[in-house]
Structure 1
Amino acid sequence: MPETFSAASAVELAVVERSGFVESRHSGAAIVLGPDGDVLERLGEVTAPILPRSSLKPLQALACVSAGAALEGERLCLATASHAGTDRHVSVVRDILDQARLGEEALGCPPAWPTDTATRDELVRERAEPARIRMNCSGKHAAMLLACVVNGWDVTTYLDPRHPLQVHIREVVERLTGESVAATAVDGCGAPVHAVSLFGLARAVHRIGTSSARSPFALHRQAGVLVDTVRAHPWAIDGPGRADTVAIERLGVFAKGGAEGVMVMVAPGGTTVALKMLDGSGRATTAVAVRLLEKAGALPPAAVAEAMAHVPLAAAGAAIRPAF
């Protein structure tokens, strides 16, 4: 059975302190690539396969665009997003579905409540029900459906790994990571998610994060547009006060977290981090990623300290400290 790296090959990446007492420890693996793509630092086993979960979304969104889905601005951001389900997010997802001339019932993701607390509370007061369009992956699914419509592909089976869209996504993943997919699983939203190494994931995100919107090569040009667009609309990729949005707003990075403790982040100069917490917790991923970029000289310490003061990290009275 395919599996990720073991506890023996992980390293301690962060600790949680309470009143000076180390209460919890997070172990995992991380890799840092410099602006030119050279490896600057390895922590733990970075060549074993991982499931990137939503950190794969930039690659999936690019595959949809390269397949012909004409997405720009906030619509492109939502294709890459793990959004909080606010009315503003939902409005953009509906725009993508309208572009495809499809209704919400075409979405293959499960119904869900918004992760934005205020929006969820308002819906509860209105006696609303969980909805597919509120699910944090609905933008990705809408983009997949649009790509299918443009190409005349079946929209009812678009989540099947053998579907032409999913075959194309896998090809883009392998092209950008520079490695073969180690395994394919079903993500929490129902879409295929491909296992690659942290090294491969870092390589792919570095290629995306350092691409230019003026590149003569279509995929790199599309990647450059995607990154520029996310940095211009950070609210869209996550939500108000949420980790990815805060990091992008305050540090100018390109950041995309994934379930089970995965994070990818690219500094404005191109330095790139990819990491996974072995215990699956995401509470320390942003802190570790920005500190690794700071350590590499890619982010100024004062800016990092100011940004991290606005990222929700741990329970009341506790603080997260990188262990390196």
Structure 2
Amino acid sequence: MAQTFTVQDAEELAVVERGGFVESRHAGSAIVLSPAGDVVTRLGDPDATILPRSSLKPLQAVAVVTAGAALEGEHLALATASHAGTDRHVALVRDVLSAAGLTEDHLACPASRPSDTATRDAMVREHLEPAAIRHNCSGKHAAMLAACVATGWDVAGYLDPAHPLQTHIREVVERLTGEKIAATVIDGCGAPVHALPLASLARGIHRIGTSSERSPFALHRVAGALVRAVRENPWVIDGPGGGDTMAIERFGVFSKLGAEGVQIMVAPDGTTVALKMLDGSLRAAPLVALQLLANAGALPPNEVADAAAHPSFAVQGGGREVGRIRATV
């Protein structure tokens, strides 16, 4: 059976402290690339294969645009988002579908309630049912459907790994990462997700994060436009209080989480980090990524320290802060 790295191959990346007592430890693997793409830091086993989950979305977004999806600005950022399902996010999804002559009935992602608490509570009060358009991957799905319409591919079965769209996405992923896909499985939203070494994911994200919109190559122009769209619209990529939104707003990074403890981040100078928490927890992942970028000289250490003091990294006891989640890299 294919599998990721083992406990023995992992390295401690963060701890959880409660009243001065180290209560939990998060171990994993991480890799940092310089602006030129050279390896700066290796922790654990970054050559091990992982499932990038939603951290693969930037590569999928580049693929759907090169396949014909005409997306710009907020709508382009939405293609790589794991959004909170707010009404603003839903409006963007409907924009993309409407422009393609489609409706939310064409979405094949599961019906879901939004992760945004206020929006979810409002839906419950109004007796609204879960909906596919509220799923955090609905932006990616809408972009995939838009690419199918633009290229003339059948919108039915667009999630089938054998569908022409998914074949194109797989080819773009391999081109950007320089790696043959090790395995393809089904993600939580129903779309194919491709297993890759963590180091290869880092290379692909580095190529996206350092691409120029003035490049002579269309793939790089699209990647450059995607990075700008995300940095200019951090609310789209995640949502209120989200780790990606916070990191983009505060540091101007290109940031994308993935389920089961995956995080990628590119600093404005091109320094890139990719990490995987072995226990699947995301609670420390953005903090560790920011700290690794600071260690590499890509972000100001004092500003990263300020971000580490954010309430989202606090440990609560009796209704007050009694500890912190702390990066140990």
Q: TM-score range by the shorter chain?
A: over 0.9
Deviates more, 1:303-312 or 1:150-159: 303-312
| Alignment correspondent of 1:100 | 100
CA distance in 1, matches of 2:141, 2:276: 24
Unaligned runs of 5+ in 1: none
TM-superposed CA distance for 1:100, in Å, is 1.1
TM-superposed CA distance for 1:305, in Å, is 2.1
TM-superposed CA distance for 1:323, in Å, is 1.9
Residue by residue over 1:125-176, the C-alpha shift from the partner in whole angstroms, topping out at 9 and shown as x without a partner, is: 0010100000000000000000001111111100000000000000011011
CA distance in 2, matches of 1:113, 1:239: 14
What is the letter of the counterpart of residue 252 of structure 2? G
Conserved 8 A contact 1:251-1:307: no
Residue by residue over 1:98-145, the C-alpha shift from the partner in whole angstroms, topping out at 9 and shown as x without a partner, is: 011111110010000000000000110001010000000000000000
What is the letter of the counterpart of residue 235 of structure 2? W
CA distance in 2, matches of 1:313, 1:265: 18
Q: Aligned in 2, Cα 1:68/1:141: closer, same or farther, shift over 3 Å?
A: same
Q: Aligned in 2, Cα 1:250/1:29: closer, same or farther, shift over 3 Å?
A: same
Q: Does 1:206 align with 2:211?
A: no
- Between the aligned residues of both structures, percent identity stands at 69
| Alignment correspondent of 1:41 | 41
Conserved 8 A contact 2:315-2:325: no
CA distance in 2, matches of 1:311, 1:296: 25
Q: Secondary structure at the match of 1:264?
A: strand
CA distance in 2, matches of 1:233, 1:173: 24
CA distance in 1, matches of 2:29, 2:282: 13
TM-superposed CA distance for 1:308, in Å, is 3.1
Q: Secondary structure at the match of 1:189?
A: coil
What is the letter of the counterpart of residue 158 of structure 2? Y
Q: Aligned in 2, Cα 1:14/1:209: closer, same or farther, shift over 3 Å?
A: same
Residue by residue over 1:264-320, the C-alpha shift from the partner in whole angstroms, topping out at 9 and shown as x without a partner, is: 000000000000000000001001000000000000012212233336135413311
CA distance in 1, matches of 2:115, 2:4: 28
| Alignment correspondent of 1:294 | 294
TM-superposed CA distance for 1:213, in Å, is 1.0
* TM alignment of 1:13-92, pairs within 5 A: 13-92=13-92
CA distance in 2, matches of 1:32, 1:169: 25
| Alignment correspondent of 1:239 | 239
What is the letter of the counterpart of residue 270 of structure 2? G
| Alignment correspondent of 1:319 | 324
CA distance in 1, matches of 2:107, 2:308: 35
CA distance in 1, matches of 2:144, 2:308: 34
| Alignment correspondent of 2:284 | 284
| Alignment correspondent of 2:127 | 127
What is the letter of the counterpart of residue 7 of structure 1? V
Conserved 8 A contact 2:260-2:279: yes
Conserved 8 A contact 1:238-1:245: yes
CA distance in 2, matches of 1:162, 1:311: 45
Q: Secondary structure at the match of 2:299?
A: coil
CA distance in 2, matches of 1:159, 1:312: 35
Conserved 8 A contact 1:265-1:273: yes
TM-superposed CA distance for 1:322, in Å, is 1.5
TM-superposed CA distance for 1:195, in Å, is 0.3
CA distance in 2, matches of 1:305, 1:13: 16
* TM alignment of 1:126-205, pairs within 5 A: 126-205=126-205
CA distance in 2, matches of 1:315, 1:157: 44
Q: Secondary structure at the match of 1:250?
A: helix
Q: Secondary structure at the match of 1:321?
A: strand
What TM-score do you get using the length of structure 2 for normalisation? 0.97
CA distance in 2, matches of 1:184, 1:314: 37
What is the letter of the counterpart of residue 320 of structure 1? I
| Alignment correspondent of 1:254 | 254
CA distance in 2, matches of 1:83, 1:294: 27
What is the letter of the counterpart of residue 312 of structure 2? P
TM-superposed CA distance for 1:247, in Å, is 0.3
Number of residue pairs aligned between Structure 1 and Structure 2: 324
Measured on the aligned residues, the alpha-carbon RMSD in Å equals: 0.9
